[in-house]
Amino acid sequence: MTRLEAVILAVVEGITEFLPVSSTGHMIIASSLMGIADDPFTKTFTVSIQFGAILSVVALYYKRFLQGLDFYWKLAAGFIPAAVFGFMLDDFIDSLLSNVFIVGITLVLGGIILLFIDRWFKSSGSESLDNLTYPLAFRIGMFQCLAMIPGVSRSAATIIGGLASGLNRKAAAEFSFFLAVPTMFAATLYKTYKFARQGVGVAPDQVEMLLIGNLVALAVAALAIRSFIGFLTKHGFRVFGWYRIVVGLLIIALVLGGYNLEVPD
């Protein structure tokens, strides 16, 4: 991986992390198109820069993170399912991270669901996250586990979980942002630990790419969050559904047509 490739992946991550289009899926596609090797550092990098992106949430919503322990207990309730299933299924999840065809299928299926989300959840729901109970936070956390399949989208899964739990679009999207903080922090620590255990060491240029990637992802994600909230409140999910379907069908067509999109080892 070159520095330019690292920056491109970070930009892709920053734009897509909080959109319901799957940041992991887009990074897999971008890595494949650029021919980046599917090695341990690449996997660590793609997870690490997601943490950089979610730090933008802390920066933009810092007042929410200063409101008291109740907020953190709700985040903990939502985080527990991903912590348990993520640890249990880690090797299986890693085996899916280089499968571009699976990304194509899940993009299409998720896109079809997004086409109908606005119709299914017509009621406005609750304006305030303060009304979110611990059981409902846990329920949203269960939805988040679906995003362990590449292409599903953590943002889409948790926002749909929030809507199904009675939140309106804005509140569901914001809780999705907040829940990303402990989830991606834990994922980054775990991936870094696994990489360090392999004993291969981290080269100085790799440390530099990790720092650059996180900073770029943070800056781009901060811009994307503000744009997404305004667009979602006014227009809903339909455009994201069509986008996912088009991209997913294109990937499936290329793979079935014999074009090699698999990430090289």
For residue 60, give every residue at least 6 positions away whose Cβ sits within 8 Å of its Cβ, in sequence order, or none. Answer: 222, 225, 226
Nearest CA to 40 out of 212, 209, 200, 205 is that of 200
pTM of the model: 0.80
Q: What is the pLDDT of residue 76?
A: 94
Helices and strands (H, E) in the chain, number of each type: 11, 0
Report how far residue 234's alpha carbon sits from residue 221's, in angstroms, rounded to the nearest whole number. Answer: 20
Tens of pLDDT, residues 195-243: 777 766 667 788 888 899 999 999 999 988 888 877 877 778 889 899 9
pLDDT tens for each residue of 93-106? 766 666 778 888 99
The pLDDT of residue 265: 44
**Can you give the residue ranges of every domain in the chain?**
3-256
For the beta carbon of residue 118, count every other beta carbon within 10 angstroms.
15
Report, as ranges of residue numbers, the positions in the chain whose pLDDT lies below 50. 263-265
Backbone angles phi, psi at 70, to 5 degrees: -55, -40
